[in-house]
């Protein structure tokens, strides 16, 4: 017998659960919603393996607005999710360092952030040395710092809270993989699950993270989203480095290395060399320790000499939901297969944008249009038109 749901969502991590939550809870969608998740432990999801940080320091207005809504949700957790809601949020700024060559770009980016109402200030090397005296300002011409609206949180608490709220508002979750998508004319008619069930649907949402391109292919759609490996290193420092923000070192001294506190430890990483970056095998979660020894540690020790005394505690690899076309999200309906909806390709900034993207997709389904943030800039049609979204701050 064919079961029927009004909305079927492939993937139940931050994107799938946010879509389900906004549909059933905040927008009061009366129809039925099924979230199909192949691994309910989420152990290998991008959501669980992320650095779980949120920033305003983007350069695309829509990216800033999505993250501002993320902050709005974090600030209203108890109203939205109940008195016990907590995600361990630390509201601390990103400190983005720029060299003389990068200074004009940092200033231009800052102007966009200010125009969007973000609380970001520019500070010079003397001020950096005053606030963080353990930090060398070698090679730094200017920095941007988030006075509020930025920070980090616990990825599992974030996902678990939204997923539970979606369930209690009436969304059903199935433990299975979507293995087939049947289409007729301009519509998805049903999906086939790995347990053999066939589910007819009114709308199908692709929220499969790094596997989103594979799921789209089941419907005959080319979506250039693929898994790309990124490493997170957990380190301990026996010398005190107090009050460190999320440091993004964009100077030649450290070529994109980031570090932030994580409890008694720090976590750090770096964007890979584009020339060697490529699609990861689905089961490849091996860590490259040489990246830490050869690049990250020396860079950190140059910027913060106390980090000479770092000790690597552990490390993990996660897969970015990497959009090869322009490293930004694809959100919205497919132009011809009109009930196929994308919520994909966030490329390293998706955990903070889950609520904003989930609300946008839910609005499209319920109202047929965006009612809060206009996300049409992220539509699939830009791929067909060869019109990339240019976001200068991709980490």
Rounded to an integer, what distance in angstroms lies between the CA atom of residue 348 and that of residue 271? 10
Q: Where are the beta strands (DSSP E) in 11-82?
A: 33-37, 53-54
Rounded to an integer, what distance in angstroms lies between the CA atom of residue 118 and that of residue 71? 11
Q: CB atoms < 10 A from the CB of 78, how many? A: 11
Site for ligand FAD (CB under 6 A): which residue of 73, 77, 225, 232?
232
Q: CB atoms < 10 A from the CB of 391, how many? A: 18
Shortest reach from residue 130's CB to ligand FAD, in Å: 28
**Closer of 25 and 230 to ligand FAD (Cβ):** 230
Q: For the chain, how many residues are written?
A: 395
Q: Kindly indicate which of the ranges 45-53, 118-126, 233-241, 270-278 contains the residues binding ligand FAD, using the contact rule CB under 6 A.
A: 45-53
Which residue's structure tokens are 């305003």? Answer: 56
Q: Kindly indicate which of the ranges 125-133, 207-215, 233-241, 301-309 contains the residues binding ligand FAD, using the contact rule CB under 6 A.
A: 207-215
Cβ atoms of 334 and 380 within 8 Å: the answer is yes
Size of the site for ligand FAD (CB under 6 A): 40
Q: Kindly indicate which of the ranges 6-14, 24-32, 181-189, 270-278 contains the residues binding ligand FAD, using the contact rule CB under 6 A.
A: 6-14
Rule CB under 6 A: say whether 383 interacts with ligand FAD.
Answer: no
CA-CA distances (angstroms) from residue 84 to 78, 88, 105, 157, 159?
7, 12, 42, 11, 15
**Residue number of the CB atom closest to ligand FAD:** 350
Rule CB under 6 A: say whether 135 interacts with ligand FAD.
Answer: no
The interface with ligand FAD within residues 323-352 (CB under 6 A) comprises: 346, 348-352
Q: CB atoms < 10 A from the CB of 188, how many? A: 23
The interface with ligand FAD within residues 258-317 (CB under 6 A) comprises: none
Shortest reach from residue 102's CB to ligand FAD, in Å: 21
The interface with ligand FAD within residues 155-194 (CB under 6 A) comprises: 177-178
**Closer of 87 and 142 to ligand FAD (Cβ):** 87
Rule CB under 6 A: say whether 209 interacts with ligand FAD.
Answer: yes
The 8-class DSSP code of residue 345 comes to -
Judged by DSSP in three states, 45 sits in coil
Rule CB under 6 A: say whether 205 interacts with ligand FAD.
Answer: no
Rule CB under 6 A: say whether 92 interacts with ligand FAD.
Answer: no
Rule CB under 6 A: say whether 97 interacts with ligand FAD.
Answer: no
Site for ligand FAD (CB under 6 A): which residue of 7, 8, 13, 331?
13
Token pair, residue 197, equals 């069930």
**Closer of 211 and 361 to ligand FAD (Cβ):** 211
Shortest reach from residue 351's CB to ligand FAD, in Å: 4
How many helices and strands in the chain, by DSSP H and E? Answer: 11, 18
Rounded to an integer, what distance in angstroms lies between the CA atom of residue 206 and that of residue 144? 35
DSSP for 260-296 reads EEETTEEEEEEPPPTTT--BPPTT-----HHHIIIII
Q: Given the rule CB under 6 A, which residues bind ligand FAD?
A: 10-16, 36-39, 42, 45-47, 49-53, 177-178, 207-211, 215, 230, 232, 318-321, 346, 348-352
């Amino acid at each position: 017998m064919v079961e029927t749901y009004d909305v079927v969502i492939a993937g139940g991590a931050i994107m799938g659960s946010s879509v389900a939550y906004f549909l059933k809870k905040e927008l009061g969608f009366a129809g039925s919603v099924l979230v199909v998740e192949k691994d309910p432990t989420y152990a290998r999801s991008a959501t669980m393996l992320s650095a779980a940080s949120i920033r305003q320091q983007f350069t695309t207005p829509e990216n800033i607005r999505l993250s501002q809504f993320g902050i709005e949700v974090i600030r209203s957790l108890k109203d939205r999710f109940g008195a016990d809601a907590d995600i361990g949020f630390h509201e601390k700024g990103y400190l983005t360092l720029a060299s003389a060559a990068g200074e004009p770009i940092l200033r231009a980016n800052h102007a966009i952030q200010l125009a969007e109402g973000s609380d970001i200030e520019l500070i010079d090397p003397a001020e950096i040395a005053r606030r963080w005296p353990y930090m060398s300002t070698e090679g730094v011409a200017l920095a941007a710092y988030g006075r509020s609206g930025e920070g980090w949180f616990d990825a599992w608490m974030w996902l678990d809270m939204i997923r539970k709220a979606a369930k209690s508002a009436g969304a059903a979750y199935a433990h299975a993989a979507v293995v087939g998508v049947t289409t007729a004319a301009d519509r998805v008619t049903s999906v086939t699950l790995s347990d053999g069930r066939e589910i007819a649907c009114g709308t199908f949402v692709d929220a499969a993270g790094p596997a989103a391109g594979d799921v789209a292919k089941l419907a005959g759609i080319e979506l250039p989203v693929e898994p790309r490996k990124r490493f997170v290193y957990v380190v301990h420092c026996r010398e005190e480095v107090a009050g460190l923000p999320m440091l993004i070192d964009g100077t030649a001294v450290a070529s994109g290395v980031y570090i932030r506190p994580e409890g008694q430890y720090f976590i750090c990483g770096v964007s890979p060399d584009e020339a060697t970056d490529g699609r990861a095998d689905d089961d490849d979660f091996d860590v490259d320790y040489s990246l830490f020894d050869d690049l990250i540690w020396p860079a950190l020790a140059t910027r913060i000499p106390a980090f000479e005394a770092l000790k690597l505690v552990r490390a993990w690899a996660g897969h970015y939901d990497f959009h090869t076309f322009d490293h930004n999200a694809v959100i919205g309906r497919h132009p011809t297969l009109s009930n196929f909806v994308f919520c994909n390709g966030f490329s390293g900034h998706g955990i903070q944008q889950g609520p904003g993207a989930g609300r946008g997709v839910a609005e499209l389904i319920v109202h047929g249009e965006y009612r809060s943030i206009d996300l049409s800039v992220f539509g699939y049609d830009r791929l067909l038109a060869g019109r990339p979204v240019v976001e200068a701050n991709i980490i």
